[in-house]
Amino acid sequence: MSKDKRERTGMVGVYKYVSKKRLHRNKPDVCWYILYRDPQGKVCREKVGWLSEGYTMARAQQIRAERTVAVSKGEPARRKVAPLFKEAAEKYLEWAKNNKAREAVDDKSRYEKHLAPRFGEKRMDQITALDLEQMKTELTERYAPATVAHVLKLFRMIWNRAVDWDLWRGESPTRKVKMPVPSNTRERFLSHQEAALLLEELKKRSVTVHDYAALSLYTGMRAGELFALKGHDVDLKHGLVIITDPKNKARRSAFMTTEAKKILKGRMPKEPEDYIFKDQRHGGRITEVSETFRLVADALFNAGVDDRRQRVTFHTLRHSHASWLALQGESLLVIKEALGHRDLKMTQRYAHLADEARRRAAERLEKDFHRAVK
């Protein structure tokens, strides 16, 4: 490019080139250049990047300032080009698949859904704390605080691994972003009548969604655990489901009820390595709960309900399973084992329901006593 095609910007050492062919937001794209002198006094001309790539005049000025400070300290002025965020993410996801529970399917799903569209094509030195704050605001309008926190933590993990592996150097912008505080502990659980109605309506729409929803109610399994089930995990003879890769990485088993056994028997694959529930589009593993569930749950229970803790979601089924156990008088230890919790602290939320069951038991004891002595 000849020098006369570059224009001054009004900022010292920052120039721009207005393209006659490239467009950005229906306007000619702009490429930024900077000029500075190396330690020997030689003029250095450096291309910063295009406006369409996220580079602004202010960013060009900042990079020039970094170069001149480096020169004044006797350090190399040019740094290596920052990798694209997607390049760091690909390395991370490859590592996570082999080192995290459930082959990191949650990380992959969150990256593809939330991070890739926003940051995949950006270089890591272009992503700022403000970008993350804007993403956090947008996600908060649609998702629970815990979900938003998971996305931000995934961004942080990708960034930190890139630093650990010498792909990039630089402080993660998440350090300047306040993590959402999850306040979405589920309070709503279904009555037996509501659960029966939900299953009835689901069966009209999708037998598959009905079946994995029913299993969650009957066994307390998470959606991810259900979708990970393979033929060899189901022991019909002894009525057991072996959960080999749950959320907390601990192996456990779930007991089949009569209905659960009937569902699983009808879904047993020919090969032990095949999934119990398959995605009909490609025959592989299901990665998320079908939209059918949300539509049915919203129509039956969620109209006009704004408090996320009171809305019926797929996780409500697991919560209902545990609540029913507590209401029928089962101990917190039994509930802990049924849910696969690491310790009793996580199960303590059901204590008030267990207390109610004990209160009713005490009242029955008193009534039995009075009947006996009359």
Q: What is the pLDDT of residues 14-48, one digit of tens each?
A: 999 999 988 988 999 999 999 998 888 888 888 88
**Which residue's entry shows tokens 């999850």?**
182
Same domain, 63 and 91: no
Same domain, 124 and 232: no
The conformational region for residue 9 under phi > 0 = left, psi -120 to 50 = alpha, else beta, is alpha
Q: What is the pLDDT of residue 151?
A: 95
pTM score of the predicted model: 0.58
CATH number, residue 128: 1.10.150.130
Residue 322 counted as domain residue = yes
Q: Return the closest-CA partner of residue 241 out of 222, 285, 336.
A: 222
Same domain, 251 and 284: yes
Q: What is the pLDDT of residue 171?
A: 85
Q: Report the percentage of the chain scoring pLDDT > 90.
A: 51
Q: Report the percentage of the chain scoring pLDDT > 70.
A: 93
pLDDT tens per residue, range 125-180 = 889 999 999 999 999 888 878 889 999 999 999 999 999 998 887 889 999 999 98
Q: What is the pLDDT of residue 265?
A: 95
Q: Length of the chain in residues, anyone?
A: 374
Given a cut of 50, is residue 322 above it in pLDDT?
A: yes
Q: By residue range, what is the domain housing residue 331?
A: 192-357
DSSP label at 100? S
Q: What is the pLDDT of residue 102?
A: 65
Residue 223 counted as domain residue = yes
SS3 182: coil
Q: What is the pLDDT of residue 2?
A: 45
Same domain, 249 and 330: yes
Same domain, 267 and 119: no
CA 371/CA 340 separation, integer angstroms: 41
